[in-house]
Amino acid sequence: MKMNPFDSPFRVSLGSAVFFLGLVAFRSLSPLVIGASTGAAVVGFRVFLDSLTGEMSISESLLTHLPAAGYYISFSMMAAAVRFRQRMAAPIQAGTVGAALDFLANTCELAIRYGMGEPFSFSGQTIIVLWLFAILRSFCVIGVYNMWVTKHVRSLAEARKQELERLMMVSSGLYEEMFYLQKSMALMEDMTRQSYDLYSRLIERKHVEPRVALELAEHIHETKKDMQRIFAGLSKLIGRQSVRGRVPIAELCAMVIRANEKYANLSGKTITFSYNGHIDLMTDQLYPLLSVLNNLVSNAVEAIEKAGDVTLHARLRGSELIIEVEDTGPGIAADDIAWIFQPGFTTKYDRRGNPSTGIGLTHARDIAQTLGGHLQLVKSEPGQTVFRLAVPTARLLQDTPSAAEMFSDRNADRQGNAVI
């Protein structure tokens, strides 16, 4: 679509409006780049059309249409000079400035044509026509742009509203599950203390009331029911199944770091977590490794008083995967090092003075041994404590049974024991 208002090669086309719209829409590109590329494309396209029709030679066509590039280049230069894009928040002002830029750019093109010898008379009528096209084109472009921006903003607002409603539903669901989780945590803490007390009595061969074991079984059954409710609720909220398949060691360590960053923030501590490892290894043993590493890293968080660093180092040594957890805490007392893996030994107490269960490191060591590896303290001094987990790489590639499979196996074992 084009018009030749002055009976000369000078034309007013729809391409100028498209260029104007692109200038304000594509803000990631420099106006000068848009102007130069558009001018070159327009001149090249017009010369190509003239060569197809054969009305004039390529050199004549190039001289005829080259001034058109002056419009686009001068428009972009002036738009950059007056920072036109920053005026788009005020449509009336933007439309007025855009009309002035369009008028001046057309004047530049006409001046170039006049300088190249084209017969042209610059009169009052010419000025009126140029201003008329400039105002119409500018305000039409600003109007289209604002309609597009308004539609885009409304779509974003609708998407945010839907996301907010979804988050509110998720939050309400999580709030409900939190009560079951708090109850289960209290029950599990109580069960752990009772279990260790039962273990101590059996070791000392003291008389144990059958009721103690029955109470433990009742607590475990009730906790299991609560866990089933929580699992069902979270599965519905999250909408995805259990994690299966192999996971890179780097991603597994990242999961541990993300979880304990939240724990550190909740504890009011400023701790910097980092991962140091460049190994290309994936594993099926996600849950056992997560259990061991979470235990070590959470112990490091608890050992650091206010601020410090926790680093996970991962490397391959022969046929073993070595993961070291290093922290800048106060270290472990020399007298306690020989006891840290003993069941029931603890140096941690809650606000009421009750000791911790003291089976965290024991549990972590036992899991490492079930994987055919070992867990040891390799360094403990003020400012540097290092625990090392070593696991054979061959065991890392064995499938981890699902919860359903484990439950089925346990039932089968119980039935077998009952028959025996």
CATH number of the domain within which 327 lies = 3.30.565.10
- The closest of 98, 82, 94 to 137, measured between CA atoms, is 98
- The closest of 279, 228, 216 to 250, measured between CA atoms, is 279
Q: Does residue 416 belong to any structural domain of this protein?
A: no
Residue 321 is predicted with a pLDDT of 93
Looking at the structure, do residues 150 and 185 belong to the same domain, yes or no? no
Contact 385, 300 (CB under 8 A): yes
Q: What average pLDDT values come out for the chain (420 residues) when binned by 10 residues?
A: 49 67 78 82 80 77 77 82 80 82 80 72 70 80 81 85 68 60 73 76 73 74 73 64 68 89 88 90 84 90 91 92 92 84 68 62 87 91 92 77 42 40
Q: Does residue 55 belong to any structural domain of this protein?
A: yes
Final residue belonging to a domain, choices 211, 238, 265? 238
Q: What's the token pair of residue 226? A: 């609560």
Q: What's the token pair of residue 294? A: 């979470």
- The closest of 174, 190, 315 to 234, measured between CA atoms, is 174
Looking at the structure, do residues 255 and 292 belong to the same domain, yes or no? yes
Looking at the DSSP bridge assignments, the partners of residue 169 are none
Looking at the structure, do residues 315 and 328 belong to the same domain, yes or no? yes
Residue 323 is predicted with a pLDDT of 94
Q: Does residue 396 belong to any structural domain of this protein?
A: yes
Phi, psi of 7 (to 5 degrees): 50, 45
Looking at the structure, do residues 261 and 364 belong to the same domain, yes or no? yes
Residue with tokens 């780097």: 250
Looking at the structure, do residues 139 and 10 belong to the same domain, yes or no? yes
Final residue belonging to a domain, choices 173, 203, 238? 238
Residue with tokens 């289209």: 144
Q: Does residue 413 belong to any structural domain of this protein?
A: no
Residue 244 is predicted with a pLDDT of 52
Residue 402 is predicted with a pLDDT of 44
Return the H-helix or E-strand segment holding 219.
Answer: helix 210-238
Looking at the structure, do residues 260 and 396 belong to the same domain, yes or no? yes
Contact 260, 294 (CB under 8 A): yes
Final residue belonging to a domain, choices 238, 265, 283? 238
Residues spanned by the domain of 87:
2-159
Residue 32 is predicted with a pLDDT of 85
SS3 55: coil
In angstroms, the CA 121 to CA 64 distance is: 17
Q: Does residue 410 belong to any structural domain of this protein?
A: no
What pTM does this model have?
0.46
Phi, psi of 80 (to 5 degrees): -70, -35
Residue with tokens 């906790």: 223
Phi, psi of 386 (to 5 degrees): -130, 120
Looking at the structure, do residues 202 and 154 belong to the same domain, yes or no? no
Residue with tokens 């060691």: 249
Looking at the structure, do residues 21 and 79 belong to the same domain, yes or no? yes
In angstroms, the CA 140 to CA 150 distance is: 15
In angstroms, the CA 105 to CA 413 distance is: 88
In angstroms, the CA 81 to CA 192 distance is: 73
Number of domains composing the chain: 3
Q: Does residue 412 belong to any structural domain of this protein?
A: no
In angstroms, the CA 361 to CA 380 distance is: 15
Classify burial at 245, counting beta carbons within 10 Å of its beta carbon; exposed 0-12, middle 13-18, buried 19 or more: exposed
Q: What's the token pair of residue 247? A: 């996971």
Residue 246 is predicted with a pLDDT of 78
Residue 293 is predicted with a pLDDT of 92
Looking at the structure, do residues 62 and 105 belong to the same domain, yes or no? yes
In angstroms, the CA 220 to CA 274 distance is: 37
Looking at the structure, do residues 106 and 129 belong to the same domain, yes or no? yes
Looking at the structure, do residues 357 and 303 belong to the same domain, yes or no? yes
In angstroms, the CA 123 to CA 128 distance is: 9
Residue 392 is predicted with a pLDDT of 92
Looking at the structure, do residues 215 and 273 belong to the same domain, yes or no? no
SS3 233: helix
